Structure 1
Amino acid sequence: MPPLNTAECEIDANCTGERWQVDDDSQLAGLIAIIAMGQAAQASHILTQLLPAAPAFTTPELSAEAKIKLTVQEQKQTPRIGYPRWQRDGFIFEAISWIAARQVYGKSAYMKDPHVSTTSQGLDGLMLELSGDKTQIDWTTVFEDKCSDDPVSTFKYKVIPAFRDRHENKRSAEIIAAATALLGRAGIDDGAAAQLAAAVTDRTKRRYRAAFAVTTALDSEDGRKELFAGYNEIGDIDQAQRLGACLVVPPKLREWFDQLAGLAIAYIETLGEGEAGV
């Protein structure tokens, strides 16, 4: 079964909503571990075919690297054993957001892989939806994924400014480069992909998706209205082009991420070396 329950929900007249809940934490943890091993393509295959979580292959070094990505290390030390909590949890949430999008949009959407490095900055996520004959881009969706202790302020002061820059095409090169790579993944040759990628700057075909991990305190229509207030600052587009998504977690958010990371690490520790995938 899919690890997440994803459903549409009400927010307000300015944006549409999605609400996510975890249905299978073991499967989710396994997919996060596989993504941490650099195997998002394998994770996509598992989600599409509804298979049990299993990496395409493993090595002791790859498993050790993935475990470091999933471990909290607050003080600098050498060798590194983990990352600061905000980076570790940010990586996990970006992976969950990617999994949710893959479940909702299926294999017909072409999506940028989650950042494998927990220190990576820049574009959180990008999704292209192509016409049936792959001669045009129907929709470009820009993701902002945030795991914050203050989601309301983070949306207002970080997500909206980031989306505004994207909307004004002030940071186009990064999106164009990512889109060109996705078009190549769709089987479009380099020359055609380079030309077609220009469509990602078309604001009439642009969607924005802001995703947050929220506790039950914001898990209501009024809570979502508070969280996503001001989304209409991204102007000259329709309600359907602004999406607010919420992963609902228990009141102790950071403890929940600790538990999920622990499940992912435990999953990695069960893996043997060599070919493991299906």
Structure 2
Amino acid sequence: MPITFSVIGGKNGWAGSSWTITNDDELAGLIARVALGQSRYVRRVLKETGFAAPDAKETELAGALKLLTATDPKNPWHRDGWLFQVISWIAANLQDPNGLIAPPHMIHAHKGFDGVHVKIDPKTNLVTSVVICEEKATDNARKMVRDRIWKEFEGMQSGERDNELAAEVTRLLETAKSVDVDSAVETIVWKNARYYRIAITIGDEHNDASGYQKLFDGYDAVVNGEVIRRRGEVLYLKNLRAWMAVLANRATKKATAMVAVHV
């Protein structure tokens, strides 16, 4: 698999992992599949082996290339944000193969949640929690956490977006089997059933134990309760924008090649 994980944490404040990209080429291939609209296939690849990939159609390529291209190469924030959300989705599926995880958005700068995961007890088929994600590719991780993500989480804790969350969870649950959707939606109204997950790119400043602590300082003040409610995921990249540009180029070539095979 293209990502491995190392456990990190901040005393009693939060827990999570540091990601390492072990195979850029494999990662680019999975991203290409997602860009072509094949997230269901990618999810199966992350869990199973031994089945054929779906055909990649020429009509899907234009949209895929749009996702993989920065409209303004000098300001690639939206493309890089989308790429990172796909990487975070891949990471989430590797970490929790049985989780119910919303597929990546298929437009840049989507206004909804970056990610939503629903955890279901396999014995009772009852929803135990919903995980609300903030997934950011940024050159200034602490500022992003302090000035933007904390505000988003505080708003979620106060119920500002309950209607959006209920709608998103309902869509996810309708794809599951043997789950009482109405009861599950009632469950997520309770604030202690909401868990939070930050996935963010970091540079040298935050790439060690003390750096992680500084990055997520204040997490327990924003989201109270058990440590399990506060997850922090980091991806260290020495040169974020250059790495994203190379990854996007690789994924573009792969998507184009996938389509060419079936033309």
TM tier, shorter chain? Answer: over 0.9
Aligned to 1:35: 34
Mapped pair 1:218 → 2:206: yes
Shift of 1:219: 1.0
1:95-146 CA deviation, whole Å, 9 max, x = no partner?
A: 000100100011x210111111113112111111112245421121110001
How far the C-alpha of 1:249 sits from its partner, in A, is 1.6
Partner of 2:155: 165
Aligned mates of 2:55, 2:176 — CA distance in 1: 24
Identity of aligned residues (%): 24
Per the TM alignment, residue 51 of structure 1 is displaced from its structure 2 partner at its CA by 6.6
Residue 271 of structure 1 aligns to a residue whose secondary structure is helix
**1:105 equivalent in alignment to 2:96:** yes
For residues 123-202 of structure 1, the aligned pairs below 5 Å read: 123-188=113-178, 192-202=180-190
Look up the equivalent residue of 1:43 and give its one-letter code: V
TM-score scaled by length of structure 2? 0.93
- 1:265 and 2:252 are equivalent in the alignment: yes
1:90 to 71, 74, 81: 81
- Change in 2 beyond 3 A, CA 1:135/1:28: same
1:93/1:253 CA distance change after superposition, 3 Å:
same
State whether residues 128 and 137 of structure 1, in contact with CA within 8 Å, keep that contact through their aligned partners in structure 2.
yes
1:84 deviates by: 5.0
Listed as ranges, the gaps of 5+ residues in structure 2 are none
Q: Give the SS at the match of 2:146.
A: helix
Q: Quick one: distance in 1 between partners of 2:167 and 2:261? A: 33
- Paired positions, count: 263
Q: What letter is aligned with 2:205?
A: A
Offset, 1:235: 3.8
Quick one: which of 96, 103, 120 aligns to 2:110?
120
Distance 1:55 1:91, change over 3 A: farther
Are 1:10 and 2:9 matched, yes or no?
yes
| Structure 1: unaligned runs, 5 residues or longer | 76-82
SS across alignment from 1:207: strand
Alignment partners' CA distance in 2, 1:50 and 1:144? 30
